[in-house]
Amino acid sequence: MEGFNIAFLDIMASGLGAIILVLIIVKQDVDKSSPEVALLQADLAKVQAQDKQLKKSLSESSDSALDVLSKMTKIQAATAAVKAEILRKNKELAQQNLAVSSIKDTIEKSPIARQDDVLKTDAGGEENYIMGLKVEGRKILLLLDSSASMTDEKLINIIRRKNSSQKEKKRGPKWQRSKRIVRWLLARSPKSSKIAVVAYNHKSKLLGAASWVNSRDASSIKKITRDLDRLVPTGATNLQRGLQKVRALQPTDVYVITDGLPTAGESGFSRLNPFSSCGGLLGRANTISGACRIKLFQQTLRESAPGRGIKVNIILLPLEGDPQASSQYWAWSSATGGLLISPAEQWP
């Protein structure tokens, strides 16, 4: 029995030792594996963070791609609209070019003048209007300014031509244009109208052989144009002299061809207080101011303007240094029911 107990104790001791050994081994394996798990967990956390970041980046990229796609769609739509507008404009331009070509063709094929025109001009075909001004009236009087300023637009050129020959004065570009305007008006006056032409500078002159001629009387019109070609633009601008002739002839419609306000008058202006400072007008100076020219113009109309019911139209040509002329002449023509025009350089 005692031997059994010792043996059992040995066995028990041996088993306990084995258990202790196993526990020691397990303990050692557990302690040894703990850092590895931590590393794996750290790696896992890092991978999870990267995955989260990738998902976030992917989401942002998707949003950005959608935004870009939306912008591209809008740009493509705008581009398509612009292309469509360009196409429409090109069609309109093509139609306008066709219309212009048609008009040019019509102008080129149109006759230079009507068959019954007694005066041939190269100023176009059948047109009767210029900027709203129509040649009309039972008794039409053309009042032509033939003063020295009617030779040119520039003052320096006007002064130069004052000291030149009569031939050179007549060559002045504005004078040549003025004569074309007279011819244009004569050629387009109504068949039933009577015509008279008066030129004025420091004096007045009736052109042609008679006071009134029939607009279709070729012989009489030829005499008027012959006298027109003989005129030399010179001297002062005495509108009052011209208007005195107008009142004597009693027209129904007047067409004044001029370039500015008058520089001389017929009345005893020296006795009128408004002209006390106008030395040029009173013979005490070689020039006259703009303010004095306005006073002279207004006094001239008060004394010599055509009677009531006579329509006055003004064709105002350009002149350097006379800016007040347009407003003054406009007020006059408007009061009579007429028009003032400043025609384009190419007309007629």
| Residue 115 belongs to some domain of the structure | no
Q: Is residue 122 part of a domain?
A: no
Q: How far is CA 64 from CA 38, 51, 57, 73, 325, in A?
A: 38, 20, 10, 14, 70
Same domain, 270 and 136: yes
Tell me: do 179 and 86 sit in the same domain: no
CATH number for the domain that contains residue 203: 3.40.50.410
Residue-wise pLDDT tens digits, 142-158: 999 999 999 999 999 99
Instruction: Say if CB 238 and CB 262 are below 8 A apart.
Output: yes
Model confidence at 67, pLDDT cuts 50, 70, 90, reads confident
- Same domain, yes or no, for 214 and 104? no
Averaged pLDDT for residues 210-216:
92
**Position 209 in a domain:** yes
- Tell me the residue range of the domain where 181 lies: 129-341
pTM for the whole structure: 0.65
> Token pair for residue 118?
């007694």
Q: From CA 247, how far away is CA 307, in angstroms rounded?
A: 7
Angstrom distance (rounded) from CA 133 to CA 131: 6
* Alpha-carbon distances of 337 from 72, 311, 312, rounded to whole Å: 64, 6, 7
Query: Could you report the per-residue pLDDT of 279-321, keeping only the tens digit for each?
Result: 555 444 467 888 889 999 999 999 999 988 999 999 999 999 8
Q: Let me know if residue 114 belongs to a domain.
A: no
> Same structural domain for residues 195 and 94?
no
- Final residue before a domain boundary, out of 74, 109, 144: 109
Tokens at residue 110, please? Answer: 């149109």
- Tens digits of residue pLDDT in 226-269: 999 999 999 999 999 999 999 999 999 999 999 999 998 876 66
Give a yes or no: residue 273 inside a domain.
yes
Average pLDDT over residues 206-221: 93
Pair 249, 302 in one domain: yes
More confident residue, 347 or 5: 347
Q: Are residues 88 and 163 in the same domain?
A: no
Does residue 232 share a domain with residue 185? yes
**Based on the domain organization, do 16 and 94 belong to the same domain?**
yes
In a domain, 151, yes or no: yes
Please give the pLDDT value at position 194. 97
pLDDT of res. 141: 98
Which pLDDT does position 283 carry in this prediction? 44
- 178 and 262 both lie in a single domain: yes
Asked whether residue 116 is domain-assigned, the answer is no
- The C-alpha atoms of residue 217 and residue 183 are separated, in whole angstroms, by 14
CA torsion 77-80-82-87 (nearest 10°) is -160
Q: Examine the pLDDT at 125 and tell me if it is beyond 50.
A: no
Phi, psi of 208 (to 5 degrees): 95, 180
Claim to verify: residue 192 and residue 230 sit in the same structural domain: yes
User: What pLDDT digit, counting tens, does each position of 144-203 carry?
Assistant: 999 999 999 999 999 999 999 999 999 999 999 999 999 999 999 999 999 999 999 999
Tell me whether residue 123 is in a domain.
Answer: no
Identity of the amino acid at 23: L
Find the largest Cα–Cα distance for the chain: 185
Question: Could you tell me if 6 and 133 lie in one domain?
Answer: no
Count the domains in the chain: 2
Q: Where are the alpha helices (DSSP H) in the chain?
A: 2-109, 155-162, 166-170, 173-187, 218-230, 239-249, 290-304, 325-335
Do residue 255 and residue 207 come from a single domain?
A: yes
